[in-house]
Amino acid sequence: MTGPRYTPLAASLPATVPFVGPETQERSRGRPFRARLGANESLFGPSPRALAAMQEEARYIWKYGDAQNHDLRAALAGALNVAPENIMVGEGIDGLLGYLVRLLVAPGDAVVTSAGAYPTFNYHVAGFGGVLHKVPYAGNHEDPDALIAKAAEVGAKLVYLANPDNPMGSWHSADRVHAMIEAVPEGTVMVLDEAYVEFAPEGTAPAIDPDDPRVIRFRTFSKAHGMAGARVGYAIAAAPLIASFDKVRNHFGMCRISQAGALASLRDRAWLDEVCAQVAASRERIARIARDNALTALPSATNFVAVDCGADGDFARRVLAELAERDVFVRMPGVAPLDRCIRISAGPDDQLDVLAEELPRALAAARG
């Protein structure tokens, strides 16, 4: 009797989980976290209109969702002043990144990213046999010049940039991103991850011709819209590339409840503005908590703050572990020198009260 006959590529891959979820940690700990400040979710929740729309749509859950995401694509196109043919909706940015890599990256193809940048992108590249080339950050920022130079050197199929950046919260101006797009080598597609763009200062998101074949940008309803559990992301790109997703995507991958919630949320601009204001206030409070503990909060254009613990990665990992012991869930970058920081998601005061109470104790324990 034989078992599954894996492909050589699949057989060569380790079992990998890019992020260990808080629920997994809670099960292993045997108790819940008091403060959930590590997953960059919106602790301020979704639009009440989105909740109402999802509750109403639940009556029709016996139906598959619209395979074309027609209404949501049309609404997004109107909001972004592009054609619906320039929009693809999918199961969060993570799902869409997987489809993109499947479309463009064959075994052995080169892909360029930053050392310490979003690990799920790397996971997809490895899963399809691509060869990752990583360049270091320049200070607390991804380095567009180094990314482009490496892409040209290795003949990359894709070059990835998150703006604003995860995990550091830094950002580049629209002009800087536009200059990077202009420098993209022939045959390379730039992957512009804008998951946090709603939180960023004016002038962060560049104006890009939606039919420019050199770039595909990704956005999500998981962050500012507060719908991480609904798994709704979208891509904006030239129509031929968007159409190519139909070759590989799960056509019925979108839940109709999620589609209804995203459409209602998109129409509730007042709620989005309110959430962004609450996130800005929360970032300021996290910075104050950091200062009160002689730590440095880095400037952030996201719904989290990277806090420099003032030493090396080993010390920051001890701080992280001590916070977890005190029922505070946060995360940290995985690569030096970024790993001198811990990353704290914005949240309401009751969550940050727990952080303010426990951080001094965690630091004291980490220092021994």
In the predicted structure, residue 191 carries a pLDDT above the cut 90: yes
How does 226-263 read in b/e, with b if 16+ C-beta sit within 10 Å? bbbebbbbbbbbbbebbebbeeebeeeebbbbbbbbbb
331: Cβ–Cβ under 8 A, 6 or more apart, which residues?
19, 38, 39, 167, 320, 342, 343
Poorest-pLDDT segment among 12-16, 150-154, 332-336? 12-16
- Length of the chain, please? 368
Res. 19 pLDDT band, cuts 50 70 90: confident
Give the integer Cα–Cα distance in Å for 177 and 198.
16
* Percentage with pLDDT > 70 across the chain: 100
Domains of the chain: which residue ranges? 21-45+270-367, 48-267
Global pTM reads: 0.96
Answer for the pair 335, 115: CB distance below 8 angstroms, yes or no. Answer: yes
User: For the domain bounded by 48-267, which CATH number is listed?
Assistant: 3.40.640.10
Domain over 21-45+270-367 is classified CATH 3.30.70.1350: no
pLDDT tens sequence across 216-269: 999 999 999 999 999 999 999 999 999 999 999 999 999 999 999 999 999 999
Asked if residue 168 lies in contact with residue 341, where contact means CB atoms within 8 angstroms, the answer is: yes
In the chain, % of residues over pLDDT 90: 96
Q: pLDDT category, 308, cuts 50, 70, 90?
A: very high
At residue 302, the pLDDT reads: 98
Least confident of 24-33, 145-154, 182-191, 292-301: 24-33
Residue 35, φ and ψ in degrees, nearest 5: -130, 120
Q: Measured at the alpha carbon of residue 194, what is the angle toward residues 305 and 124, in degrees to the nearest 5?
A: 100
Whether 16 has a pLDDT exceeding 90, the answer reads no
Chain segment 107-131, per-residue pLDDT in tens: 999 999 999 999 999 999 999 999 9
CA 128 and chain centroid, separation: 20
Residue 86 has pLDDT above 90, yes or no: yes
Q: pLDDT tens, 52-67?
A: 999 999 999 999 999 9
Summarised one tens digit per residue, pLDDT across range 156-178 is 999 999 999 999 999 999 999 99
Average pLDDT over residues 181-206: 97
